[in-house]
Amino acid sequence: MKPCPFWNQRAVLITGATGLLGSRLVVALAGRGAHVHVLMRPQGSRTGAWDGVSPVLVKGDVQEGARLRGVLAAHAIETVFHLAAQSIVGLAQAEPVPTLEANIRGTWNVLEACRLTPSVGRLLVASTDKAYGEQPGIPFHEETPLQALHPYAASKACADILARTYAHTYALPVCVTRCANLYGPGDLNFSRIIPSTIRAVLRNERPVLRSDGRMKRDYLYVQDAVLACLELAERAQEDRCRGQAFNFTSEEPLTTLDVVRRVLAAAGRPDLEPLVGGAVEGEIQDTVLSAERARRILAWQPRFSMAEALNETVAWYRNRLASDEERSRTLPTGSD
């Protein structure tokens, strides 16, 4: 990829850079010529698929405010993508305090560090469609009140509000993304429905649904999410964008069971009948977004159909799991 005039030589910091979206964003920004820095906890590891890209690794944690300010100043960071979060709903339900600390304290530390660092000219904070909570009607627009009532969703709603507070109170050029459920190559969180279904298929097993399969969700291919983040960050200083939240979604709501069947078709195994569970505590029944604001202001729309995105995703997992099996067969065995 050729350097992009906007991002070329620009110093960028990404938190959460080993996650599904963060890892793809590292690659995209590096390809556009940016000087990419990633914040890594001391005990962190390079689990993200950076495809040979070597960003600057900076040790630190979003819960360390003073350290964050030092990092931003020392590297003259101009743009920050704050993606780091504890995002496992079940873990948040079982252990809420670490999730609240990571997602709320971590966000206010990033916001305050950016406010106090003159070089920072734009900031993007990742919220989630879960921040809307249960609503009387769908789809959700950005003006829909945030009514999250479960620990993970509530933590993201708080972070969302804090980001917009800093924009309003301190004129911080921060924007908020509320993405639909992301999927794509590189996601090794097998508690999510798409990777877990693909893994089951490749093992010739029936996929297992934790829920009754009737919950309705929007989905978004990770590459479309990357392009959305880049576009919004580029325009963060504009009056129509600064301090605003934007929904990003394919606007194709599907039940969980429908998604599983699409994955089975993409993997060439429509004959595998899923095992369907029951209701799941802490999950919102229907989460459906409108991307009208993104279309109108950013001229953004998804570039990938779900069919082609799933084909690429299945191919990645097929290669990855085959490589894992090959490595396990060639590992040396121990001796007595």
- Residues annotated as catalytic are 152
Q: Which of 161, 134, 140 is nearest to 283 (CA)?
A: 134
Helices (H), 47-150: 65-74, 89-94, 96-100, 106-115
Residue carrying the six token digits 């809307």: 132
Paired residues of 35 in beta bridges: 11
The shares of helix, strand and coil residues in the chain, as percent rounded to the nearest 5, are 40, 15, 45
At 181, list the tokens: 């459920």
The SS3 call for residue 248 is strand
**Distance set, CA 134 to CA 94, 148, 250, 288 (Å):** 20, 7, 20, 11
User: Which residue type does 321 have?
Assistant: L
Of 102, 99, 107, 232, nearest to 173 by C-alpha is 232
Q: What's the token pair of residue 53? A: 């890209």
User: Counting Cβ atoms within 10 Å, is residue 204 exposed (0-12), middle (13-18) or buried (19+)?
Assistant: exposed
Query: 123 is written with which tokens?
Result: 């900031």
Say if residue 149 is exposed, middle or buried (CB neighbours under 10 Å; 0-12, 13-18, 19+).
exposed
Whole-angstrom CA distances from 160 to 15, 192, 211 are 16, 23, 27
